[in-house]
């Protein structure tokens, strides 16, 4: 497998930790929600994205091209969600 230098896999979160944070923010179980990478068009579940702790937030990257799909930063007052790397994010009602 090709060696990547731009990603520190030691900062990778496990899926359960990611699911907990997403549930806290969205109030729904998110890991099975479908999303599509804006960079390569790869479609998959949010739970299948690569999650990293980075600075004050969490970064979810495409498992195919490693493009940043979602970036979540939590402050005491608010949650910042940067979803420009996703074509869409489907939240079940």
Binding interface with Zn ion (CB under 5 A): 37, 39-40, 42, 62, 64-65, 67
Instruction: List own/partner pairs for 62-65 with CB under 8 A and 24 or more apart.
Output: 62/37, 64/37, 64/40, 65/37, 65/39, 65/40
- Nearer Cβ to Zn ion (47/74): 47
Written as six digits, the tokens of 5 are: 């230098």
Q: How far is the CB of 60 from Zn ion (least distance, A)?
A: 11
- Nearer Cβ to Zn ion (31/67): 67
Q: How far is the CB of 34 from Zn ion (least distance, A)?
A: 14
């Amino acid at each position: 497998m090709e060696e990547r230098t731009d990603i520190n896999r030691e900062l990778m979160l496990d899926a359960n930790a990611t699911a907990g944070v997403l549930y806290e923010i969205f109030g729904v179980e998110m890991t099975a929600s479908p999303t599509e990478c804006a960079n390569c068009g790869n479609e998959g579940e949010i739970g299948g994205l690569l999650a990293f702790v980075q600075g004050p937030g969490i970064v979810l990257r495409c498992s195919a091209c490693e493009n940043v799909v979602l970036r979540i930063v939590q402050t005491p007052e608010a949650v910042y969600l940067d979803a420009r790397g996703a074509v869409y994010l489907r939240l079940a009602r």
